[in-house]
């Protein structure tokens, strides 16, 4: 009975896949929910009782070969999660990056980054891996007294060296954040949107784009930051450089 209920909820994602791919995708989705450790394809097949499946490669192809839109899946997932929020309440979205430690010649988008867990102000530890940028809906679930962060959109941000090798324009973390913020603000039309990030997202470029898209940005300012009003409009006949600060 629980299996049927899960399939009913997941059926909203069915239009993204072909019929054959959807059959395999359902197994992966349910197995990912049931896994209590690493959510790899092999672990999912084991928990679903398919460890002896001869055509296991078909399940891997859902992720590495089948054509379906992860962006559309994120839109559908966000729509389901927003149903937990009353219309009069704002939508609070957290944004943060994380490093997946990976190394090897076949890992194309890897880079060398500062390890935020092992590093301190005096001692910097670097590691190789993939940098992911995630957006999470912050909401209080009915059965919990605490607020939960529910990820709905994750983007791989290749390193500068990887983009240079692939001859692609490099985007910084702030550039990706702006692109994701604009996309999510177009999806959400019935709520005010609040974007929350740590000190690395305290950036004038991101703040200006948030203002343009009617998104409230909450971040941690630097201790030496200085805040000014917008400059007043000067008469057209006044000579000299235009003021940059109010």
User: Residue 238 domain-assigned?
Assistant: no
Q: 74 and 63, same structural domain?
A: no
Alpha helices in 35-118 (DSSP H): 41-47, 57-64, 70-82
Q: For 83, phi and psi rounded to 5 degrees?
A: -65, -15
Average pLDDT over residues 127-148: 89
- Helices (DSSP H) in 96-246: which residue ranges? 160-166, 173-187, 204-212
189 within domain boundaries: yes
* Least confident window among 125-139, 156-170, 226-240: 226-240
Cβ distance 44 to 24 under 8 Å? no
Domain membership of residue 241 (yes or no) is: no
Shared domain for 59 and 85, answered yes or no, is no
Same domain, 62 and 105: no
From the list 74, 95, 90, 94, the residue with the least C-alpha distance to 187 is 74
**Residue 141: is its pLDDT beyond 60?**
yes
pLDDT digits (tens, 9 = 90+) for 39-50: 899 999 999 999
Q: Is residue 32 part of a domain?
A: yes
CB 153 within 8 A of CB 136: no
What CA–CA distance (Å, rounded) separates 60 from 67?
13
Q: Which domain holds residue 120?
A: 69-223
Query: Mind listing the pLDDT tens digit for each residue in 157-204?
Result: 998 888 888 899 999 999 999 999 999 999 998 899 999 999 889 988
- What is the count of structural domains for the chain? 2
**Rounded alpha-carbon distances, angstroms, from residue 141 to 73, 78, 82, 147, 202:** 22, 15, 11, 7, 29
Could you tell me if 85 and 50 lie in one domain? no
């Amino acid at each position: 009975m629980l299996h049927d209920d899960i399939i009913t909820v997941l059926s909203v994602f069915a239009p993204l896949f072909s019929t054959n791919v959807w059959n395999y995708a359902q197994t992966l989705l349910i197995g990912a929910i049931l896994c209590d450790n690493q959510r790899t394809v092999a672990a999912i097949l084991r928990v679903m009782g398919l460890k002896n499946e001869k055509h296991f490669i078909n399940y891997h192809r859902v992720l590495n070969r089948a054509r379906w839109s992860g962006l559309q899946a994120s839109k559908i997932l966000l729509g389901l999660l927003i149903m937990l929020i009353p219309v009069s309440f704002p939508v609070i979205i957290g944004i943060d990056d994380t490093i997946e430690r990976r190394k090897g010649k076949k890992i194309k988008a890897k880079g060398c980054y500062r390890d935020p867990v092992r590093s301190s102000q005096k001692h910097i530890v670097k590691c190789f891996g993939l940098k992911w940028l995630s957006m999470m809906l912050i909401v209080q679930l009915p059965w919990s007294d605490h607020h939960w962060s529910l990820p709905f959109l994750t983007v791989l941000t290749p390193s500068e060296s990887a983009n240079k090798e692939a001859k692609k324009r490099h985007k910084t973390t702030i550039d990706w954040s702006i692109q994701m913020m604009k996309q999510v603000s177009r999806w959400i039309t019935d709520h005010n949107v609040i974007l929350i990030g740590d000190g690395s997202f305290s950036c004038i470029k991101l703040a200006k784009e948030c203002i343009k898209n009617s998104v409230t940005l909450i971040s941690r300012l630097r201790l030496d930051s200085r805040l000014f009003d917008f400059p007043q409009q000067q008469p057209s006949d006044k000579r000299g450089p235009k003021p940059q600060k109010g």
